[in-house]
Structure 1
Amino acid sequence: KSPDLPQAHILRSLSNVKVTSIHTSHSGCHAIALSLDGNAFLFGRNQNGALGLPSSVPAVSETTPIKVKPTSLPGATPGSRFVSAACGRSHSLLVASDGHMWASGANNFGQCGQNPCSETKGFKPVSSPWLKSDPADKAIKIGAGLTFSLVLTESGKVYSFGSGDKGQLGNGRTGEYIITGGKTGFEIVSEPILVKGAIDGKKIVDISCGQQHSIALDTDGYVYVWGFNGYCRLGLGHQKDVMLPTIVPQFSGENEITRGLFVAAGPTNSVVVDRQRMYQMAGKWKNSGEGSTGQPYTTFRFIPDIMSCKMLYVSSGGVTHWCITPDDEDENAPSSPVMTVAWGQNAHNGELGFGEGQPKSATKPQRLRPLDGVDVFSIAAGQNTTFFLASPGGAELPRHPEEVDHPELCVICSKDLGDDELELECEKCDSPYHLKCLTPPLKEVPEGEW
């Protein structure tokens, strides 16, 4: 068993990959990283084959992620690239630049876009009605809950599929029916259907999924919610489930700066950052006091400790909450310095990243000191793990794993050319290279950081 990481580490296995986005689930234990060249790198728990591997494979180590190319999947267009991904508790979704989509993992409620079965073995194409529309549309972003999935298209339409037991499909019903023995069943939709309600005719630009609820944002800054409303996670002032997308009154006023800029969903909460870049949350986000089971935020409310911060990015994990904000504290930092802020009650695996010997849990937002000087621009908060994307350079961070076995010979030619051509060890991965074996070849060691 690998020890928990108490602070952020550079993941060696991806340190030479230019990652553009990383995706995980607030209710799952696997992750997907998308690279600049359009490939996907998957690792974590392979529950029900969520990584596209046989379910007999329990997990894929973060030190050896599997690489998936779009062209290796059925129906892919030559030259296409992965542009979006999503992780549910035990299923995964991938979208390519041509608008096609694939899914793998648990499919007992049709959440992989296939006829219901225990699991989808390997990544299978998902029916894409948007490609058949006139004019043709294409998927650009996807989201995943426990048992359902959402798709956002380039034209601003939203599609859903999977279980509708709490209204999370946004089709106006749960499809409840009686099974033999007095048991209750609910509608299962295994092919993407168009979500209507209050978003019909609107251009949606952002979506996010909780465990059993959804939140969306349109071009005018109006915020829409639907699905399970336990703990008032939809921010509508009540706990009744919502079957169709419904506008949130707080973000529908005439004053445009009070409308939404971007949205996020956690397991039992929703987050909206308004056009003043102020953070607001609804639902249950901790275990005691205001915001807990007995005292959830019934409507969207500010978090007092970060009211003066201007949000650049937000995310919610299993029990953690995150934001990136400009760092006004460090006046001597380079241009556009950022501060990473985290909080979460009952975190116990080091997922808040405060460092060795520091508290693992925090009920109030705190500056993440180990990331001072690191230009973090995106955060993917998982059930018990947190992933950060940062620009190259900045403060030095430890690497994971700390020590690895490195090849003794040049990794390109595998030859010992003697003292006339010594191997150069890369400062990033410690692998040896001859200068002439690099692309392009070099005559001397470059100056500065490389």
Structure 2
Amino acid sequence: MEVRAWVSELGYAQCLSAEGQLSVLGHSKYEEVIEANPTPSDLQEKKFLGVCSGFSSHYCLDLEGDVWSHGYNDYHQLGREENNGSIAAVANISKIELLCCGSFHVLCKDVEGSLWGFGRNNYGQLGVAATGKSLPQQISGVPANITQIACGSEHSMILDTNGTVYATGGNWTGQLGMGHKENLDTFTELPALDSIVSISCASYHSLFLNSRGEVYSVGNNGSGELGLGDFEARLTPQRVDGLPTIRTIATKLYASLCIDNEGKLWGFGCNGRQELGFPDSVAHPTPAIIPTLQHVNICSVSQGGKYSILTDDNDDVWILGDKKPNTWKMKKRRGMIGKPFNKNAKSARNR
């Protein structure tokens, strides 16, 4: 079973089964337990293509191309002016096929190739002139053949079918990869990359994967999240050495994870809450295979503020992070839709 999840700072996750069934998980009153919660009633009969979460704002993309949102709405990141936080479909956008969000902003692409954005735009992260916040609007000056969207805290990137990357937004640590630290408010082509097949934006750094399985990184590096063996920021993308051929990349906050062609998990960056899966709590500026998972075939990875969620080829789910890998448990509750986690899911130290 494929699980696509983003875990927020508050320990909330949305999970999709391969059949498009949605389930949500979050902290119980006991901090060490993460429980499956009933799916919101408005969504129980729907099937979904994708989910994502920002900082306490959450989004689901259904099979009809409608985007549903709920949570905090201080910057119109729910796509509406009302600040009641209840779940509702985002108005004035339809037939969406790609969806991604940052901390407080959202970008999505419709089937006609148009790009739409809403939410916080204080640094131009929507690809339009910087404003405090925005309701859904169409973004001009972007290619129609977008295949992927990635959003960091205050910067955004898009990838087209030619393997070209475009970036916009906050750039004070060089996370846009333009060779300078000036913010941008239009999507601008990165000059130093080619043949890119996947992009990932964290808080203040970015990763790129090319068709040869090579990983490049740029931006903030205070915790070694660029994987370059030091803690110096970079203004242009640099190749990450010491990795085998990689097929999947993931980032969030100050950490990076990669899955190689053999299904092994590699990590670099912040490990203060053991979100990389290393048994210590120190930064790892050089890529290394995660020792507790070296005999597991990892299929997917999703990173959040405190946690990393992994699935393997046995449909088991692994949760790393918050210095409590031994205490995570999965519980099924009445009313839960789908089976987001195998009932035998284990922590990374108990397998």
Could you say which TM-score interval applies, normalised by the shorter chain? Answer: 0.7 to 0.9
Amino acid at match of 1:129: V
1:146 matched to 2:171? The reply is no
The whole-number CA distance in structure 1 between the counterparts of 2:99 and 2:280 is 30
Aligned in 2, Cα 1:223/1:4: closer, same or farther, shift over 3 Å?
A: closer
Contact 1:235–1:298 under 8 Å retained in 2:
yes
Q: Give 2:89's aligned amino acid.
A: K
Partner of 1:125: 138
SS at match of 2:119: strand
Report the secondary structure of 1:13's partner residue.
Answer: helix
2:183 corresponds to which of 183, 188, 195: 188
Aligned twin of 1:286: 272
Give the alignment partner of residue 60 of structure 1, picking from 55, 66, 85: 85
Q: SS state of the match for residue 49, structure 1?
A: coil
> Which consecutive unaligned segments of at least 5 residues does structure 1 have?
74-79, 132-137, 175-186, 252-257, 328-337, 347-360, 372-387, 396-450
Task: From 249, 254, 262, give the equivalent of 1:263.
Answer: 249
Equivalent runs, 1:168-317 vs 2, <5 Å: 168-174=175-181, 187-197=182-192, 199=193, 202-251=194-243, 258-287=244-273, 292=281, 295-317=282-304
Amino acid at match of 1:272: C
- What's the CA shift string for 1:217-258, capped at 9, x where partnerless? 11211111111111001111011111112111123xxxxxx2
Any residues of structure 2 matched to 1:342-381 within 5 Å, and which?
342-345=319-322, 361-362=324-325, 368-370=329-331
Q: What stretches of structure 1 move > 2 A for 4+ residues in a row?
A: 3-6, 285-292, 366-371, 388-395
Q: What is the DSSP-based 3-state SS (H/G/I as helix, E as strand, rest coil) of the residue aligned with 2:45?
A: coil
SS at match of 1:167: coil
For residue 36 of structure 2, what is the aligned residue in structure 1?
8
* 2:223 maps to amino acid: Y
Structure 2 residue corresponding to 1:87, chosen from 78, 97, 101: 101
Q: Distance in 1 between matches of 2:183 and 2:102?
A: 17
Shift of 1:394: 8.4
Instruction: In structure 1, give the amino acid aligned to 2:310.
Output: C
C-alpha distance 394-309 of structure 1, shift in aligned 2 (>3 A): closer
Contact 1:287 1:345 in 2 (8 A): yes
CA 1:370 to 1:305, structure 2 compared with 1: closer, same or farther past 3 Å? farther
Deviation at residue 367 of structure 1 after TM alignment: 7.4
How many pairs were matched up?
306
Contact 1:286–1:319, Cα closer than 8 Å, also in 2: no
Structure 1: which amino acid aligns with 2:141? S
Distance 1:389 1:19, change over 3 A: farther
Alpha-carbon distance between aligned partners in 2 of 1:290 and 1:394, rounded to the nearest angstrom: 24
Highest CA radius of gyration, 1 or 2?
1
Identify the range of structure 1 (39-48 vs 262-271) with the bigger mean alpha-carbon deviation.
39-48
Shift of 1:195: 1.2
For residue 139 of structure 1, report the CA deviation from its aligned partner. 1.3
Which one has a larger percent strand, Structure 1 or Structure 2? 2
Q: Distance in 2 between matches of 1:270 and 1:291?
A: 16
- For residues 330 and 305 of structure 2, the distance between their equivalents in structure 1, rounded to whole angstroms, comes to 22
* Contact 2:198/2:209 (<8 A) preserved: yes
2:143 alignment partner, SS class: helix
Contact 2:316 2:341 in 1 (8 A): no
Provide Cα deviations, 1:394-420, integer angstroms capped at 9, x if missing partner: 87xxxxxxxxxxxxxxxxxxxxxxxxx
The root-mean-square deviation of aligned C-alpha atoms, in Å, is 2.5
Distance 1:84 1:42 in 2: 15
8 Å Cα contact 1:341/1:368 also seen in 2: no
Secondary structure at the residue paired with 2:331? helix
Change (3 A) 1:311 1:389: farther
**Within 1, Cα distance between the matches of 2:156 and 2:341?**
36
**Alpha-carbon contact 1:83-1:140 (below 8 Å) kept:** no
Q: Is the CA contact (8 Å cut-off) linking 2:79 and 2:90 kept in structure 1? A: no
Matched, 1:109 2:123: yes
**Unmatched runs of 5 consecutive residues or more in structure 2:** 1-25, 29-33, 344-351
Distance 1:291 1:107, change over 3 A: farther
- Which residue of structure 2 aligns with residue 50 of structure 1? 77
Is 1:326 the counterpart of 2:340 in the alignment? no
Partner of 1:98: 112
Aligned with 2:176: secondary structure? coil
Greater helix content = 1
The question of whether the paired residues in 2 share the 8 Å contact of 1:203 and 1:218 is answered with yes
Q: Give TM-score scaled by structure 2 length.
A: 0.80
For CA contacts below 8 A with separation 6 or more, give which structure has more relative contact order: 2
The separation in 1 between residues aligned to 2:58 and 2:153, in whole angstroms, is: 15
